[in-house]
Amino acid sequence: MAFTPRTETYVDLASLSDPFDFTVTKPTGTVNGDILFCWIASYHPSAIIDSVPSGWSLLGEYLANVDKYALYYKIAASEPASWDWSFTGSTKVRAVCSCYTGGDFNPSDPIDVVSNTAYRTDDTDCIAASMTVSAVNSPLVFWAGVYHTSEKTFTKPSVPSEDWVEDDDTWDADSDFTTEICSMIWSGSGATGDMDAILSASDIQKHAFAVALNPSGGAATYTKTVSMDALLRATDTEAISLDTLLKTIESKTIDLDTFLKALDTETISLDAIIKALGVSKTVALDAILRGTSEQTVDLDAILKGEATATVLLDILLGEIFLGTASVSLDTILFKALPPNRIYTIEIRDGDGDLLAILENAHGISYAQMINSPHSLTLDLPANDSKISNILLANECWLRDNQTDTIIRKFKLRHKMGMRI
């Protein structure tokens, strides 16, 4: 990313003559789609801006004292060589027109949030109050201004990070204003914290603005409806915030409300996902969420605690997280099951309560007879611990995992024999 400043242009006047207008020159190299800012400061008890060129929009102003400040912006579109502004009366004035290249912000909806809070304490701080930025990789721009009849300089802010680039730090003896302009692309989001440029000497006649732009493309959001029944096949007491889990995906911002339409809360059982992945019940989340074609995940281990099926992570996560699929998670998961897991055998007691699932059953066959009971046969390893549930008083239910329906219920009459 390269949110690049073009060379600023300046107007510095000790006074204005009737009709109190002045001309601001367009920065060299400005092209359509760039974003233009015009920072204007004046020094007069009552004179204020009364004529603004077409297309310029006010972002913020401070008019409470004799030193006054205003900030305007526009998206460049076939711009003239200059623009004319005017005041209601004669005043000292400084105008700085800055321009930043397009490509890193959304030109159709550029402004996310503006900081414009007065800080009028006689010290070296020139503060733009904290603002809440909506998305990662948002371009930020900071302006500070101070009025003084001798030169002062600024040290750039260090909040929200040390990534600020100082684009301007100049004073002029005609207007007696010093300006500081800084820019950056912030990798974070949320509250920036107070952004403080430090003056070379204390002053009270000062003001700062800051603006966050919406990044190009905005925050990535995903609109798939997820069947949480398919994901949460087990319950346990250890929980992890889905915000933490899903934001492990590199360079992605997940809209949890949209993504998790089937959840009532934003927590899930971690053990429900990684139940059989190890005795310690720990797993590297980046291994789950940022897989490559060389990595596999035991899908049954995640969903049911059994190690019988594998799927490529890029297939599973490409479908779900990257927004390329129109299929539900249930469909993906059932497609990942091998043929012998399309059907499962459940052992239930006479009241229909589940006693066991015969995951190791194979050679399953179901015969629908004419004028005789239907029959179900299967093979099971002799060392399978669930054999103890096969009692004559119990029932054997055949479930279709693709439709999650019971095909037929069988009464256990006798065992045909067991072999290893």
In the chain, what are the domain boundaries? 5-213, 228-337, 340-411
- pLDDT (tens digit per residue) in 224-259: 333 444 343 333 333 444 444 444 433 334 344 444
Please state, as a whole number, how many other Cβ atoms lie within 10 Å of the Cβ of residue 336.
Answer: 18
pLDDT at position 362, please? 80
Amino acid at 251: S
- pLDDT (tens digit per residue) in 42-80: 999 999 999 999 999 999 999 999 999 999 999 999 999
The whole-angstrom separation of Cα 72 and Cα 257 is: 35
pTM for the model stands at 0.55
Residue 146 burial by CB count (10 A; 0-12/13-18/19+): exposed, middle or buried?
buried
pLDDT at position 209, please? 98
Instruction: Report whether pLDDT(164) > 90.
Output: yes
Instruction: Report whether pLDDT(1) > 60.
Output: no
Classified as helix, coil or strand, 262 is coil
Residue 86 burial by CB count (10 A; 0-12/13-18/19+): exposed, middle or buried?
middle
Average pLDDT of every residue of the chain: 77
Split at pLDDT 50, 70, 90, the class of 305 is very low
Top pLDDT among 373 and 284 is at: 373
> 312: Cβ–Cβ under 8 A, 6 or more apart, which residues?
291, 293, 295, 296
